[in-house]
Amino acid sequence: MGEAYCVEGVLFAVTAVLALAGGVGVIAAREPVHSVLGLLLVLISLAADYLLLGAQFIAALQVIIYAGAIVVLFVFIVMLLNMRSGEGRPDRVLPPVLGIVLSAAFAALLIAAAATVRGPAASVGADYGTVQQVGRALFTVYALPFEAASIVLIVGMIGAVALSKRPAPLGAPPARRGVVGR
Amino acid sequence: MSVPAVCYLGLSAVLFALGTLGVLVRRSALVVFMSVELMLNAVNLTLVTFARVRGAVDGQIVVFFVLVVAAAEVVIGLAIIVNIFRARDTVDVDDVDLLRG
């Protein structure tokens, strides 16, 4: 028991440090591709945390959908656009220091709220969080939301095709369009 | 569950705050979008933690639906960002102010 406690504690500490490092990397990196790599680090660390919490199915989904599909999509867009970012300009709306102070206050508030959670965790069986258990709940109690989720995905696919097949970009200012035409 | 739930909730809180910080201070729409993903993941960690604390699987089902919505959201959002870039040659959120926001 004591040994298991130690292993879990060390694993959580490692994943927490990696996730925080990745999170800082996302918002602090100059190059967008470094931000994507930071996001990937966060997602993988969180998948390990889900395993520690007994959510095997969700951990697998996290790796396949988030770390696989969504990050690949981000990398694709970064590669495709090669965008310049005018990050060097002075801020008009919110100075970064104020943003940091606001976010730190918000984090303190959330942690204070989380610290009020009391009581031991429920004891669960060996099949907790497996594909069988989650799938059974998904196809019985949550069958209707599950079907609605498929509609959401269809709408997303149709929307992406419609947006990317647009011949002339919508919202281009008329003057700029004239310049491009010449 | 030998690590107390508060640890997971604290990690989730800090990740969420990092996401808000990214949305507040970064200009590139792509990085802002990634910060939103960071916040979604922080909330997912909270849901999985509470599912484990309660010993019920319902929180994990909610995470499943969040994954579905996040996938659709990323597809649409990135398509919109590509369209904005084609129209205006920039993805800075400060430059896209047609609505005078």
Res B86: pLDDT: 84
Closest residue to A8, CB basis, from B3, B10, B19: B3
pLDDT tens readout for residues B35-52: 999 999 999 999 999 999
Mark yes or no for CB contact B5/A55 under 8 Å: no
Angle, helices A143-164/A131-139, rounded to nearest 10 degrees = 90
Which residue in B has a C-alpha nearest to residue A9's C-alpha? B3
Residue type, A84: R
The CA distances from residue A147 to A129, A158, B44, in Å, are 21, 17, 21
Res A112: pLDDT: 92
Q: Does A21 touch chain B (CB under 8 A)?
A: no
Q: Does B84 touch chain A (CB under 8 A)?
A: yes
C-alpha–C-alpha distance, residues B87 and B37, integer Å: 25
pLDDT tens readout for residues B53-85: 988 899 999 999 999 999 999 999 999 988 888
Closest residue to A26, CB basis, from B34, B51, B81: B34
SS (H, E, C) A98-126: HHHHHHHHHHHHHHHHHCCCCCCCCCCCC
Closest residue to A169, CB basis, from B13, B87, B90: B87
Q: Does A144 touch chain B (CB under 8 A)?
A: no
Which backbone phi and psi does B58 adopt, to 5 degrees?
-65, -35
C-alpha–C-alpha distance, residues B21 and A79, integer Å: 25
Residues of B in contact with A99 (CB under 8 A): 21, 24-25
Whether residue B12 contacts residue A39, with contact meaning beta carbons closer than 8 Å, is answered with no
pLDDT tens readout for residues A81-113: 876 655 556 555 677 888 899 999 999 999 999
How many CB atoms are closer than 10 A to CB B97?
9
Secondary structure of residue B92 in the 3-state scheme: strand
Query: Is the pLDDT assigned to residue B1 strictly greater than 80?
Result: no
Res A7: pLDDT: 87
Out of A35-39, A42-46, A153-157, A174-178, pick the least confident: A174-178
Confidence band (pLDDT; 50, 70, 90) for A175? very low
Query: Is the pLDDT assigned to residue A148 strictly greater than 60?
Result: yes
The complex's ipTM? Answer: 0.92
